Amino acid sequence: MRRPTRISPRLLSAAFAAVLAPTVQAEARTFQSSAGPLKVVTVARGLDHPWSLAFLPSGRMLVTERPGRLRIVTRNGGVGAPVRGVPRVAARGQGGLLDVVADPDFARNRTIFFSYSEPGRGGAGTAVARARLDGNALTDLKIVFRMAPKSRGGRHFGSRIVIARDGALFVTLGERGERRRTQDTSIHRGQVIRIARDGSVPKDNPFVGRKGFRPEIWSYGHRNPQGAALHPVTGKLWIHEHGARGGDEVNIPEPGRNYGWPIIAYGRHYWGGRIGEGTHKAGLEQPVHYWDPSIAPSGMAFVTGPVFETWRGDMLVGALGFRMLVRLRFDGTRPVQEEMLLEDLDERIRDVRVGPRGYIWLLTDSEDGRVLRVEPSR
């Protein structure tokens, strides 16, 4: 029987945070970089393991919390009550409410897409839902993708969503910690999938009509991709994925290609053993960049707009492992420069976005997670 006299301190803290957030004074720290001094402003805090951030035309933001809450955050840091209508999530391990993106035509249709670890028969699996945001509630919710089969455990859901220029959805799927099943294309494990916004399969997907392949598969042989973004010039999808003990990769997924996990990999198993057959094998793709040791990458964005002109076109990657922001410059697909930023912030960076005005936005992964804005310190 529930005891009404016991109130969770976490619930009390969250309730007070929701009320007081609009009046929280912004905190700021300054860090050095190749673009000059950077000011990192705390816009909002008190979020429980925030995972993803999406901008709305009004200037407000959608922020997911991994335990299963979706929040609207105002420009001045006000954190709203949880949005109603979010489906139940399997909030264990790395699972929960994960990515969120707004439809390009949100101002007219109020549509958002979000990914989450969906509980069900066999355990949990990555799912993608489409819904309409009406005030502080979701309506007309439809599941447009479900990982099959579901499995036990709380690892490697992937879950980044990117809307391509043609309107299709790219969704990254982790291999759920089942590396021996990653090369099985009759199921969903370790892939980038491509679907239409209504959940149907585009006719020009590479494996449509091919026996032994799920038709929504775009590329496969991935481990756990938790960063994805469109290149601002080419419009191509770029992703990064977690390695094991070393071997985090940046890839440009081409249709129908196999990216090798776990047959080839850079790095080793956590217990020190060799992974697969080495780093190269005919017919398997090579990453355009890799990290060894692992930085545990999460979140990705390309720098656009005039605010950070000297970094225009560079890739930004959050690092959970070394608690920093990484900047990568490519000449085409060849990495030519890498810079470690905000190392003294001492926060696990879960998501990275470049906002409509060109500022860099970050989410920190903790029980007191923050929304941060990075801007030049003038």
For residue 246, with 0-12 CB atoms within 10 Å meaning exposed, 13-18 middle and 19 or more buried, which class applies? middle
For residue 125, with 0-12 CB atoms within 10 Å meaning exposed, 13-18 middle and 19 or more buried, which class applies? buried
> CA-CA distance, 354 to 225, in Å (whole number)?
19
The class level of CATH for 9-376 reads mainly beta
Active site residues: 156
Q: For 328-341, give the DSSP string.
A: EEEETTEEEEEEEE
pLDDT values of the chain reduced to their tens digit, one per residue, 378 residues: 333 333 333 333 343 334 334 334 578 999 999 999 999 999 999 999 999 999 999 999 999 999 999 999 999 999 999 999 999 999 999 999 999 999 999 999 999 999 999 999 999 999 999 999 999 999 999 999 999 999 999 999 999 999 999 999 999 999 999 999 999 999 999 999 999 999 999 999 999 999 999 999 999 999 999 999 999 999 999 999 999 999 999 999 999 999 999 999 999 998 989 999 999 999 999 999 999 999 999 999 999 999 999 999 999 999 999 999 999 999 999 999 999 999 999 999 999 999 999 999 999 999 999 999 999 998
Contact assessment for residue 140 and residue 88, using Cβ atoms and an 8 Å cutoff = no
Q: What are 113's two structure tokens?
A: 């897409």
159 contact partners, CB below 8 Å, separation of at least 6: 98, 99, 115, 116, 117, 126, 171, 172, 173, 174, 226
130 contact partners, CB below 8 Å, separation of at least 6: 111, 112, 113, 141, 142, 144, 197, 198, 199
> CA-CA distance, 272 to 38, in Å (whole number)?
38
Pick from 129, 94, 132, 135: which is nearest to 114 by CA? 129
pTM above 0.85, yes or no: yes
Contact assessment for residue 19 and residue 350, using Cβ atoms and an 8 Å cutoff = no
pLDDT of residue 27: 84
At which residue do the structure tokens 């398997």 appear? 284
Extents of the domains making up the chain: 9-376
pLDDT of residue 378: 80
